[in-house]
């Protein structure tokens, strides 16, 4: 039998948490043969709701779910975890300054970084979902210096999947036949969804998306803004932000990281920049990556045209600025 894996979900009483924990308990994240113990953390005002989620997990009688820890104690939540999905955070409320929201999240991620560093299992893999996702992940990395930088990532897979979805709708093909889109940069509206290297499986072989779509105006315009603004469109329609698609993307992110990406396919992950593609190092920036044996690697050598270069730089500049703002909250 496989060894048990402990998965932490912070903010587990929230919307994404509610969609995510049953997926994990069903094996969507780690495989249908992988028994799991769920660790769920939330804050005291949400403790009762969190306990309600725990009751539902018991009621669902998931065969793979071998235990549930539901707690408001960050040390108890982090102890022994092999995977940490950080969904908890402080949302921006009307009339709040950007700096105030940043400051709340910096203090949350600073303290949760220490708890993970001291109590998580060795080689724990961390995925930050809560916004500002890239910068929260960077703060977590800075305050957990003994966790290898390669173990700390943020979620841009939802944006990646949205890009695949848009191409599939436009071409009227199965989304599973579309691959190798790229989300560059920040999980924000400055992200750059890039399909210059994306392809579609067709009866006559793999074809570049650019060749099939033909309409460069759409690809360089509406396609990009639709993906960038999709989160806002969901809020407008649902009066709530994306939750099922975010939870599903978090499962995709961890599954591919742990179990590997298929040969010839890459995915987008926010990872610690090593300066690839002339992106400033020391930022958590979304790149195309392949995963093998539990490690990711940035795909190298893709041609970047002038149009793309500007967009990579713009979203990088926003991240540098966010980093500065986050640091100014520390002093
Ligand atoms: P939500 O407000 O429904 O849930 C957040 C939960 O976090 C709440 O239960 C809250 O009590 C909890 N929380 C707050 N501070 C905490 C702390 N210090 N420790 C533990 N838990 C804490 O929000 P929702 O819709 O579930 O979204 C969660 C986050 O994910 C938000 O920051 C949202 O912006 C972000 N998000 C990111 C996406 C991405 O693609 N990276 C996509 C969609 C949402």
Band of residue 97 on the pLDDT scale cut at 50, 70, 90: confident
What does residue 105 show for φ and ψ, rounded to 5 degrees? Answer: -70, -35
242-295 pLDDT per residue, tens: 999 999 999 999 999 999 999 999 999 999 999 999 999 999 999 999 999 999
Band of residue 96 on the pLDDT scale cut at 50, 70, 90: confident
| pLDDT exceeds cutoff 80 at 331 | no
Residue nearest to atom 22 of ligand 1 (CA): 88
Q: Is 49 helix (H, G, I), strand (E, B) or coil?
A: helix
pLDDT at 191: 98
How far away, in angstroms, is 46 Cα from ligand 1 center?
12
> Active-site residue numbers?
187
Q: What number is the average pLDDT over the span 78-95?
A: 93
pLDDT at 95: 80
pLDDT at 260: 98
128-151 pLDDT per residue, tens: 999 999 999 999 999 999 999 999
Kindly state the tokens that stand for 257. Answer: 């990281």
Q: What number is the average pLDDT over the span 103-117?
A: 97
Tell me how far apart the alpha carbons of residues 284 and 286 are, in angstroms, rounded to a whole number.
Answer: 7
| pLDDT exceeds cutoff 90 at 92 | no
Q: What number is the average pLDDT over the span 114-122?
A: 97
Percent of the chain past pLDDT 70, that is, above it, reads 100
Kindly state the tokens that stand for 175. Answer: 């989304």
Question: At 179, which helix (H) or strand (E)?
Answer: strand 178-179
- The best mutation among 8, 10, 11, 54 to test binding of ligand 1, ranked by most ligand atoms within 8 Å of the C-beta, falls on 11
How far away, in angstroms, is 107 Cα from ligand 1 center?
15
Annotated binding residues? 11-17, 42, 92, 98, 105, 129-131, 162
Residue nearest to atom 12 of ligand 1 (CA): 11
Kindly state the tokens that stand for 30. Answer: 């780690």
Q: Give the ligand 1 atom nearest the CA of 50.
A: 9
Annotated binding residues for substrate? 92, 98, 131, 162
The pLDDT mean for the chain works out to 97
Can you tell me the ipTM of this complex? Answer: 0.99
Band of residue 98 on the pLDDT scale cut at 50, 70, 90: confident
- The best mutation among 14, 49, 107 to test binding of ligand 1, ranked by most ligand atoms within 8 Å of the C-beta, falls on 14
Annotated binding residues for NAD(+)? 11-17, 42, 105, 129-131
What does residue 63 show for φ and ψ, rounded to 5 degrees? Answer: -60, -35
Would you state the torsion angle of the CA atoms of residues 53, 55, 58, 60, taken in this order, to the nearest 10 degrees?
-60
Q: Is 187 helix (H, G, I), strand (E, B) or coil?
A: coil
How far away, in angstroms, is 122 Cα from ligand 1 center?
25
208-238 pLDDT per residue, tens: 999 999 999 999 999 999 999 999 999 999 9
């Amino acid at each position: 039998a496989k060894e048990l894996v402990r998965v932490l979900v912070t903010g587990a009483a929230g919307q994404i948490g509610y969609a995510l924990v049953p997926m994990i308990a069903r094996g969507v994240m780690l495989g249908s043969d992988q028994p799991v113990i769920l660790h769920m953390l939330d804050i005291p005002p949400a403790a009762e709701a969190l306990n309600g989620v725990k009751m539902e997990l018991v009621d669902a009688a998931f065969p793979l779910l071998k235990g549930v820890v539901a707690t408001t104690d960050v040390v108890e939540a982090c102890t022994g975890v092999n995977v940490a999905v950080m969904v908890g955070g402080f949302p921006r409320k009307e009339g709040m300054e950007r700096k105030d929201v940043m400051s709340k999240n910096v203090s949350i991620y600073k303290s949760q970084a220490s708890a993970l560093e001291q109590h998580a299992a060795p080689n724990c893999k961390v995925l930050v979902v809560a916004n500002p996702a890239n910068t929260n992940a960077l703060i977590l990395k800075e305050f957990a210096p003994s966790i290898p930088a390669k173990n700390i990532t943020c979620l841009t897979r939802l944006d990646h999947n949205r890009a695949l979805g848009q191409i599939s709708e436009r071409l009227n093909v199965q989304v599973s036949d579309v691959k190798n889109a790229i989300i560059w940069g920040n999980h924000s509206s400055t992200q750059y969804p890039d399909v210059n290297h994306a392809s579609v499986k067709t009866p006559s072989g793999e074809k570049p998306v650019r060749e099939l779509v033909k309409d460069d105006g759409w690809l360089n315009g509406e396609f990009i803004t639709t993906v960038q603004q999709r989160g806002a469109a969901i809020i407008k329609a649902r009066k709530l932000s994306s939750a099922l698609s975010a939870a599903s993307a978090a499962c995709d992110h961890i599954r591919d990281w742990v179990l590997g990406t298929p040969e010839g396919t890459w995915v987008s992950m926010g990872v610690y920049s090593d300066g690839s593609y002339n992106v400033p190092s020391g930022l958590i920036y979304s790149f195309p990556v392949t995963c093998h044996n539990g490690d990711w690697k940035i795909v190298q050598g893709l041609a970047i045209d002038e149009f793309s270069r500007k967009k990579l730089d713009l979203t990088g500049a926003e991240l540098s600025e966010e980093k500065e703002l986050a640091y100014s909250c520390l002093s």
